[in-house]
Amino acid sequence: MKSQTKTVNVVIFGIGAMASLLASFLLRLRTPKQEDAPVRISNLVMFGSWQEQLSVLQTNGLSMSCRDGSVVKLQPDVTCELSELPAADWVFVLGKSYQTERMASQVAEILRPNGLAVTLQNGLGNLELLQESLGQERAAQGVSSHGAYLRRPGHLVHAGEGETQIGLVPGREDDIHLVARALDWTGFATQVTANAESLVWGKCAINAAVNPLTALLEVKNGELLQEPMTCRLMALAVEEVASVAAALKIELPYGDPVGHVESVCRATADNRSSMLQDVLARRPGEVEAISGAVVAHGIRLGIETPVNDFLLRHVTLKMSGVKFDPAAFGELDIS
C-alpha cells in the first residue's frame, strides 16, 4: 500500500522579496498535482508588518516576473497578526537580521514541539538567536543564492537563480532532508550540507562584497563588474572576509572567493541587492549584520578590515540620509 503524503503547516516570517519568492515556489505544494510530491502543505501563511506590502498582497495578491519573461499572479495568505498563524511544522525566517531577536520569540509561540525553523537570512548570528529561543534541535541554518527584488509593493522580480543549502541538525537529519526534498520538488533547487557554518560565511563574503557597494552607488549587481575600481573593491572586501574566516578556522565553500563573487554578480546581474532596496525605500538595512560583523570579528582577532569598515561607515551614513560621494573611495588604498 502506498504511504500517505505527509501534510505540514508552513509559516514564512517576512513579506519582502525573498520571502515572497519562497512563497511563490512553496504554493505549488498547497495542492500538488503530481503524486510524487514529498509533502502537501495544508496552510501556508506569510507573516510581516510592512504595511504597504501587506495591504497590496492581501488586496491584489502577488505578481511575479519570472526568469522566462512570463508574469504569474499568486494569492498567498498574509497576516500581521501572530494570533492568526497556524501551529507550524516548518517556519522559514526571512526577515531582516535586526528583527531576528523579536522574530525568534514569535516563532517560539507558534512552532510545534517537533517543528523546525530554517533561517535563510543575510548576515551572521541569526541561527544563534533562533537557537536561544527554540533550542538547538529546532533551528537550522540555510543559505540561498537566488536573486529577487520588488519592483513595487506586490510586484516581485525573480532576478537570478541559484542553489539553496540547508545545514544538518543532529537528531533531525530526516526532517532536514524532507524540507530539502520539498523545496527541490517545487523547483527551488536545494541540497543538504553538513557544514552550515562554512555556508554562512560564504554567503557573508558575497554580501559584504556586493550589497554595500550596490547600496552606495545605487546600481544593480552586474554593474559592479563594469568598472575596474568596483571590481577591485569587491575583491578586497571578500578577501578580508576570507582572512577573518580563516582565523576562525572556517573554510569558505569555494576555493576562489574573488572569482566566486564575480560569478554571482554575473548570475544575478539584473538584481537589486537587499541593501540597495533598503536604501531606496529609506528603511533600516543589514549592514551591521554583514560588514559590521566582519569588522567586529576582525577587531577581536587583530585582523585589519579597512574596506569593510569603510563600507560599514558610509552605508550607515547613507541610511541616515547623507548623500554618498564616490570621491570618498579615495580614502582607501586599492592599489
Residues with active-site annotation:
203
The whole-angstrom separation of Cα 122 and Cα 150 is 17
Residue type, 312: L
DSSP string, 104-136: HHHHHHHEEEEEEEEE--SSSSHHHHHHHHH-G
The whole-angstrom separation of Cα 24 and Cα 42 is 15
Which residues of 153-271 form beta strands (DSSP E)?
Answer: 155-160, 164-167, 190-193
> How far is C-alpha 157 from the geometric centre of its chain's CA atoms?
15
- Convert 230-260 to b/e letters by CB count within 10 Å (16 or more is b): bbbbbbbbbbbbbbbbeeeebebbbeebbeb
The whole-angstrom separation of Cα 286 and Cα 307 is 17
The three cell numbers locating residue 77: 495568505
What backbone torsions phi and psi does residue 49 show, to the nearest 5 degrees?
A: -120, 5
* Total residue count of the chain as it appears in this document: 335
Handedness of CA 52, 54, 58, 63 (dihedral sign): positive
Q: Could you tell me which residues come within 8 angstroms of residue 205 by beta carbon, excluding any fewer than 6 positions away?
A: 238, 241, 242, 245, 252, 257, 261
Q: Specify the 3-state DSSP secondary structure of 14.
A: coil
Task: Give the orientation angle of helix 306-319 with respect to helix 274-281, to 10 degrees.
Answer: 30
The whole-angstrom separation of Cα 178 and Cα 182 is 6
